[in-house]
């Protein structure tokens, strides 16, 4: 197959026509017997010789004249160079007379072939025996012998003569359709000046014209005219799909342009070339598709620049994310208490004011809890400030675990924390505060493992906007008054603000 690709289109077509001619000749011989069968001709001629010999020997055999029979056999063998041996055999199987080493040449009971022929001999009407003749092989055993056979000579004449005639006629015919003749030289030169590869194809996908830029894509030096585009190795490898789905075949079949197909073309040891292929059908005045124009644009350098730009964009995005993370870190430093992880007072008030305004506008309840760690100074005095910091962290952890996503928790100052609870009134907030107080007592102390049996408690003051607070600060002040009452009442308890002093004292005694 590779050798056929090296031949010119005229030579390939001549070989194809010659193959058809030879196959037709052999098929005609098989059906009609137009060629002489040397084996069959030889078999008939030899059979006639043997039968004549049998008739000639019948008379001396009846007379029992062995000498005449012997002389006849020897004369026959000497006169005919094709005869190897002759034997006269009785019906009983015994050899009566022979010439040459007939016993070795002929095995008893052997059937007649083109090389071994037997004819029966009758004595009167009774079967007497047979004459057996061994001939030289009809088929030659040497190359020269085969070359001189009529059938081989005919095939050789057909092969050499037929190829020469076919090649001459086809070569002349193709010259009339040579694109270098049909396409003006100035047009071809103009196409060669284009930086993009251009290839013109007929409806069968054969190349009519390929400009210099197209051939340079893979360093093709030879003439591409007449070759099928789908059989060009580097182009076929780049497309990696059946020939029927190649862009030019699709364009011819559908009558529409196939544009912008991206391919990678291997280029020796260099990096693959990135190209963009477009196939546009060529139609005549009646709209009938007559071929296809394929353009291939090398976008390797553009692709390289795009890749560099994309990498720069990726690096810029990564830098933007780093800046955003740093800004977030700065925001955290500005809004979050570094020791407890709770909101600081400034960030709390920025969010709390908008939350309170929304609650008042919608007529929704809003509650505030103020909590203080009981006897916090004693932890610092007894165990040191490091343990005091751990106490703050453990209490903040318990408080934060009890919060809803909409709740606000801040470290208001020192050991005091403030919690804002949207959608809860003072009664509901008091229940929440009681649960949190119990958690602080149960979990905060055991959380500090360096000091066994450490007991940490907290007092809580609760208020809600239903008591008339006009601002977050006023609401916190009410909750702080209730917290003060809780501490006066013995600490580790929850006191709700009730709107007058008697109510606070009564709540403190409950």
Residues carrying an active site annotation = 415
The counts of H helices and E strands in the chain are: 19, 14
**75-97: b or e for each residue (b if 16 or more CB lie within 10 Å)?**
ebbeebeebbbbbbbeeeeeebb
Cβ distance 117 to 47 under 8 Å?
yes
The pair of structure tokens assigned to 411 is 């470290």
Using DSSP bridges, classify how beta strands 270-283 and 258-267 pair: parallel, antiparallel or unpaired: antiparallel
Q: What is the DSSP string of 264-295?
A: EEEETTEEEEEEEEEEEEEE-TTS-EEEEEEE
Name the DSSP letter for residue 452: T
**CB-based burial label for 386 (10 Å; 0-12, 13-18, 19+):** exposed
Cite the beta strand spans of 156-227 per DSSP E.
197-202, 207-210
For residue 195, the SS3 value is coil
Classify residue 246 as left (phi > 0), alpha (psi -120 to 50) or beta.
beta
- Give the chain's radius of gyration (CA, Å): 57
- As given in the structure block, the two tokens for residue 81 are 């160079």
- DSSP for residue 206: B
Q: How far apart are CA 371 and CA 293, in angstroms?
A: 84
């Amino acid at each position: 197959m590779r050798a056929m690709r090296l031949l010119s289109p005229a030579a390939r077509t001549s070989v194809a026509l010659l193959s058809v001619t030879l196959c037709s000749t052999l098929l005609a011989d098989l059906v009609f017997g137009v060629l002489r069968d040397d084996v069959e001709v030889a078999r008939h001629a030899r059979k006639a010789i043997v039968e004549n010999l049998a008739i000639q020997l019948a008379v001396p055999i009846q007379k029992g004249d062995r000498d005449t029979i012997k002389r006849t056999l020897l004369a026959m063998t000497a006169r005919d160079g094709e005869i190897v041996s002759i034997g006269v055999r009785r019906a009983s199987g015994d050899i009566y007379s022979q010439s040459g080493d007939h016993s070795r040449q002929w095995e008893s009971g052997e059937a007649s072939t083109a090389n071994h022929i037997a004819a029966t001999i009758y004595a009167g009407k009774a079967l007497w025996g047979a004459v057996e003749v061994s001939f030289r092989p009809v088929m030659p055993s040497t190359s020269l012998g085969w070359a001189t056979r009529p059938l081989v000579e005919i095939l050789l004449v057909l092969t050499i003569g037929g190829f020469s005639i076919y090649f001459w006629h086809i070569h002349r015919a193709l010259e009339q359709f040579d694109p270098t003749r049909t396409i003006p030289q100035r047009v071809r030169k103009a196409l060669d000046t284009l930086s993009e590869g251009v290839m013109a194809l007929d409806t069968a996908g054969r190349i009519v014209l390929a400009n210099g830029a197209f051939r340079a894509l893979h360093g093709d030096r030879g003439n591409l005219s007449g070759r099928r585009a789908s059989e060009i190795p580097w182009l076929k490898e780049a497309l990696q799909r059946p020939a029927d789905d190649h862009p030019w075949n699709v364009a011819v079949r559908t009558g529409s342009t196939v544009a912008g197909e991206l391919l990678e073309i291997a280029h020796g040891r260099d990096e693959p070339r990135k190209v963009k292929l477009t196939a546009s059908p060529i139609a005549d005045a009646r709209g009938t598709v007559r071929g296809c124009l394929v353009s291939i644009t090398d976008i390797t350098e553009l692709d390289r620049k795009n890749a560099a730009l994309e990498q720069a964009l990726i690096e810029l995005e990564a830098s933007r994310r780093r800046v955003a993370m740093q800004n977030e870190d700065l925001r955290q430093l500005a809004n979050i208490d570094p020791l407890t992880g709770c909101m600081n007072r400034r960030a709390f008030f920025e969010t709390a004011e908008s939350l309170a305004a929304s609650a008042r506008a919608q007529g929704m309840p809003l509650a505030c809890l103020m909590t203080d760690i009981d006897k916090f100074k004693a932890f610092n005095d007894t165990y040191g400030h490091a343990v005091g910091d751990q106490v703050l962290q453990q209490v903040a952890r318990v408080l934060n675990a009890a919060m809803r996503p909409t709740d606000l928790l801040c470290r208001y100052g020192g050991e005091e924390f403030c919690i804002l609870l949207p959608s809860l009134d003072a009664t509901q907030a008091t229940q929440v505060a009681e649960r949190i107080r119990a958690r602080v007592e149960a979990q905060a102390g055991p959380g500090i493992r360096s000091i066994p049996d450490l007991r940490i408690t907290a007092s809580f003051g609760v208020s809600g906007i239903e008591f008339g607070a006009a601002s977050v600060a006023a609401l916190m002040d009410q909750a702080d008054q209730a917290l003060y009452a809780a501490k006066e009442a013995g600490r580790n308890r929850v006191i709700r603000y009730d709107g007058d002093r008697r109510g606070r004292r009564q709540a403190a005694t409950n």
